[in-house]
Amino acid sequence: MSNSSHRLGCIAAACLSLPLSLSLSAQAAEPLVVKIGHVAALSGPAAHLGRDNENGARMAIDELNAKGVRIDGRVVRFQLLAEDDAGDPKQGTAAAQKLVDHKVNGVVGHLNSGTAIPAARLYADAGIPQIAPSVTHPRYTRQGFKTTFRMVADDAQLGGTLGRYAVQTLKARSIAVIDDRTAYGQGVATEFEQAAKAAGATIVRREFTHDKATDFTGILTGIKAARPDVIFYGGMDAVAGPMLRQMRQLGIQAKFMGGDGVCTGELPKLASGQLPDGQVVCAIAGGVDAAQRPVLDQFKADFKKKFGADVQIYSPYTYDATQVMVAAMVKAGSADPAKYLPVLQKISHPGVTGTIAFDDKGDIRNGALTLYTFKGGQRQELGVVR
């Protein structure tokens, strides 16, 4: 081969390599698309809580995209894939399968224990991390899945704390318990009952209804005859509101207690204003200490400015769940679930709700509870316990 033909060969080789080089450069410049799923009840009686959760995740996604987050040197564009499970287990598993089919990089959700528990198996089989911001049933993290995480204390802590509070602080000696037959409602009611009995109370009635019921006359008439000091309801605010209204119509003066499902800013409205000051004592799984309060207060102000609505309960936790999931991806240098999952399992991340770290079951470490009552139609904090 002559010198001239050798030079021509080199030029040709260079020409052949140039498009490949440009292609790689263009690929590096393109944003890496990372899909995060969110599932909650966006229809049905708990839709206001589901929308609250979704907005928390959406707020995190918008902030992350505005920051120009990089993973392994590449700018990332995050997409939120939001699904409605209507609080129904069958729709919950269908929504979960849809997200699996879309090959999401992670899931924040579900809102309810009854939908999150069966969905967890689908995510685990696909190797997709799932962080539940508001699920409190203990079984959720006790199925043995390494992909399952929880942002708040569980029903054993929540129901147990309320049961002891009923006896030790409210001095209740006789208690009636009602649940809505959902996984959440039965779970928190059972934990409450066990703790109240252990503290010395007598359970005079154990009743059940369903999560779409509106008439409780029969149940409440029977309970009235038993004259309990406290009525505990395991369920959501959409049922608790009418129940409280009918309690007042029947002249029942007992204290009314419930878990996070009833402990919302909507409860006075759902009770049609029939909510005497101090009658309700409830708790939410979560809460911040005094040092963290300014951070959470700023989040609430930013949330209201963005969505024109107050935080209901768990939007700060969906926000933190989304942020901690992305923090694990950044630290791992990959959005591949198999690569960032081990980082997520060991992470310690500062969030608006406090430091986020998980134990070996996926439960939040040092989870808090916040006790509330209602006065003048407004929810008022009684205190934070751990």
| CATH, residue 174 | 3.40.50.2300
Q: Cα 239–52–37 angle (5° rounding)?
A: 115
- Do residue 205 and residue 294 come from a single domain? no
Average pLDDT, integer, range 176-200: 96
Model pLDDT, residue 184? 92
- Do residue 300 and residue 329 come from a single domain? yes
- Do residue 36 and residue 80 come from a single domain? yes
Model pLDDT, residue 319? 98
pLDDT bracket for residue 29 (50, 70, 90): low
In a domain, 20, yes or no: no
User: Residue type at 184?
Assistant: Y
What percentage of the chain has pLDDT greater than the value 90? 85
- Do residue 261 and residue 336 come from a single domain? no
Mapped onto helix, strand or coil, the DSSP state of residue 241 is helix
- Do residue 161 and residue 281 come from a single domain? yes
The domain boundary, picked from 285, 316, 331, lies at 285
Q: Tally the domains of the chain.
A: 2
- Do residue 168 and residue 279 come from a single domain? yes
Give the helix ranges, DSSP H, for the chain.
3-29, 47-67, 89-101, 113-126, 155-168, 183-198, 217-226, 237-249, 267-270, 293-307, 315-332, 337-346
Range of the domain at 194: 156-285
Average pLDDT, integer, range 83-111: 97
Average pLDDT, the chain: 92
Above 50 in pLDDT, residue 3? no
CB 184 within 8 A of CB 285: no
- Do residue 110 and residue 180 come from a single domain? no
- Do residue 127 and residue 196 come from a single domain? no
Least confident of 2-6, 31-35, 108-112, 210-214: 2-6
The domain boundary, picked from 285, 311, 345, lies at 285
pLDDT bracket for residue 338 (50, 70, 90): very high
- Do residue 147 and residue 174 come from a single domain? no
In a domain, 380, yes or no: no
What is the number of residues in the chain? Answer: 386
Q: Any bridge partners for residue 383, and if so which?
A: 371
In a domain, 379, yes or no: no
Average pLDDT, integer, range 321-345: 98
State pLDDT tens for residues 111-150: 999 999 999 999 999 999 999 999 999 999 999 999 999 9
Model pLDDT, residue 5? 43
Above 60 in pLDDT, residue 340? yes
Mapped onto helix, strand or coil, the DSSP state of residue 267 is helix
- Do residue 224 and residue 296 come from a single domain? no
- Do residue 115 and residue 177 come from a single domain? no
In a domain, 256, yes or no: yes
State pLDDT tens for residues 225-283: 999 999 999 999 999 999 999 999 999 999 999 999 999 989 999 999 888 999 999 99
In a domain, 376, yes or no: no
Model pLDDT, residue 10? 44
Above 60 in pLDDT, residue 45? yes
Above 60 in pLDDT, residue 300? yes
The domain boundary, picked from 252, 285, 318, lies at 285
In a domain, 123, yes or no: yes
